[in-house]
Amino acid sequence: MQSWSSTPVPRVAGQPRPLRLFDTATGEVRPTAPGPTAGMYVCGITPYDATHLGHAATYLAFDLVHRVWLDNGHEVHYVQNVTDVDDPLLERAARDQDDWVVLAMRETALFREDMVALRVLPPRQFIGAVEAIPEIVESIAKLIAAGVAYRVDDPEYPDVYFDKDATGRFGYESNYSTETMLGFFAERGGDPDRAGKRHPLDALLWRMARPGEPSWPSELGEGRPGWHIECSAIALNRLGSGFDVQGGGSDLIFPHHEYSAAHAEAQTGEHPFARHYVHSGMIGLDGEKMSKSRGNLVFVSKLRAEKVDPGAIRLALFAGHYRSDRAYTDELLAGAKQRLATWRRAAALPAAQSAEATVARLRDHLGDDLDTPSALAALDAWAAEALSTGGTEQSAPTLFRAAVDSLLGVEL
């Protein structure tokens, strides 16, 4: 698929700081240690509705990872998928008597526009599930050949499933108990009660064609892919085993990222699939997780139509830590607009006190598991002083502006 256009990222004077991130698998903040090229895969949208602020928060968190790595002189090989065929998309299309292909294309196009407006740096490869079907089929065939995938005993629909114990490490990514896994599996697209499975937690790899459902011919028989194998194959084929960051919202910790990793590791025999599993918290509205199924959504496109500055949307979402579940409120956005206006006034001054120590603090905070609340506070302090006592350094407002642009993606 076509990715989206990039905005330039200015170089910022001073010393970059390496990036440490919380890893779900080990439960600790650890240094990322990319080579010259850092590899990142972030799970993309299922395009049946517009991008809401929860999605935006997740892509903005990983945009900061991207930017901090760039600041450290790494190239970034960023890959993102689009789940452009899956049950929720087909269900929405059926409900609205819409063509699922057209629905997916329309919402993906809107997503790209939202990402450009929010100045999210684009993935190098933006890959749809449909276009990846041949490579997904190849992955599934390898799992069958390795004896870790099997067909359910159903003559009508002999779907292919994955033996969750294939690697002997199942559970290492989420660290959840079997009971917790079973709960999330049922809640998040799994089918614990499917007759003929060897274990309730075995996951679907290939669904044989059903009447009225889209399907593709393949060596596995006419059908369509399961969800986890999609991201597993797309990531593995572009980034290889042991890439730096596998990312997404915390609702993907289980089952999605556990199985994506297990599918890949069972094929390659290599561990780990990703060196860090990084998860952003859930954005809520009115006390509940913002989600398409609940319908309690604030869309990025709606805020854009209301002429809300995308910089204010970024700052509203950066006001809380990326890992914390947090609420979106009108007050949060109002506060972000005010902060943006103050920073703009400070950046427009002809001269100010030095910004070097502030930029160092910004880098320190971002390097420390993307601590944006502390980073924003440091920038607030500089702006307040610049606007009150000020200073005579003419390059200071320019340095401040470049650092906010490059590291936070906010244009002043």
Q: Kindly identify the residues of this chain, within the stretch 41-80, that bind ligand 5CA according to CB under 6 A.
A: 43-46, 54-55, 57-58
Q: How many residues does the chain have?
A: 412
Q: Residues 158 to 217: which contact Zn ion by CB under 5 A?
A: none
Residue (32 or 46) nearer to Zn ion, CB: 46
169 counts as binding ligand 5CA under rule CB under 6 A: no
**Residue 144 within binding range of ligand 5CA, rule CB under 6 A:** no
**Nearest in space to 327 (alpha carbons), one of 280, 278, 293, 282:** 282
- Measured between its terminal Cα atoms, the distance across the chain in Å is 32
Instruction: Report the nearest approach of ligand 5CA to the CB of residue 344 (Å).
Output: 28
Would you give the binding string for ligand 5CA spanning residues 28-47, x where CB under 6 A is met?
---------------xxxx-
CA 143 vs CA 148, 151, 165, 228: distances in Å: 6, 12, 13, 13
Copy the structure tokens of residue 368.
């420390």
Least CB distance to Zn ion at residue 81 (A): 6
Closest contact distance (angstroms) between CB of 341 and ligand 5CA is 27
Using CB under 5 A as the binding rule, whether residue 231 contacts Zn ion is answered as: yes
* By CB under 6 A, residue 122 contacts ligand 5CA: no
Residue 249 interaction partner, one of ligand 5CA, Zn ion, none, beta carbon < 5-8 Å per kind: ligand 5CA
207 binding partner (options Zn ion, ligand 5CA, none; Cβ < 5 to 8 Å by kind): none
Interaction with Zn ion in 7-46: which residues (CB under 5 A)? 43
Does 125 bind ligand 5CA (CB under 6 A)? Our answer is no
Return the range that interacts with ligand 5CA (CB under 6 A); candidates 146-154, 192-200, 287-295, 312-320.
287-295
Let me know if 158 is exposed, middle or buried by CB neighbors in 10 A (0-12, 13-18, 19+).
middle
Q: Measured from the CB atom, is 290 or 303 closer to ligand 5CA?
A: 290
Residue that the structure tokens 């954005």 belong to? 283
Binding test (CB under 6 A) with ligand 5CA, winner from 108, 218, 280, 406: 280
Told to check if 290 binds ligand 5CA by CB under 6 A, we report: yes
Among residues 372, 334, 381, the alpha carbon closest in space to that of 353 is found at: 381
Q: Count the Cβ atoms, other than its own, within 10 Å of residue 358.
A: 23
Q: Does 291 bind ligand 5CA (CB under 6 A)?
A: yes
Q: How many CA atoms lie within 13 A of 256 on its CB side?
A: 21
Query: Does residue number 282 form part of the binding site for ligand 5CA (CB under 6 A)?
Result: yes
Binding mask 201-240 for ligand 5CA (x = CB under 6 A): ------------------------------x---------
82 vs 402, beta carbon nearer ligand 5CA: 82
Q: Which of 159, 173, 244, 251 binds ligand 5CA (CB under 6 A)?
A: 251
CB of 113 to Zn ion, least distance (A): 22
Residues near ligand 5CA, by CB under 6 A: 43-46, 54-55, 57-58, 81, 83, 231, 248-249, 251-252, 280, 282-283, 289-291
Residues near Zn ion, by CB under 5 A: 43, 231
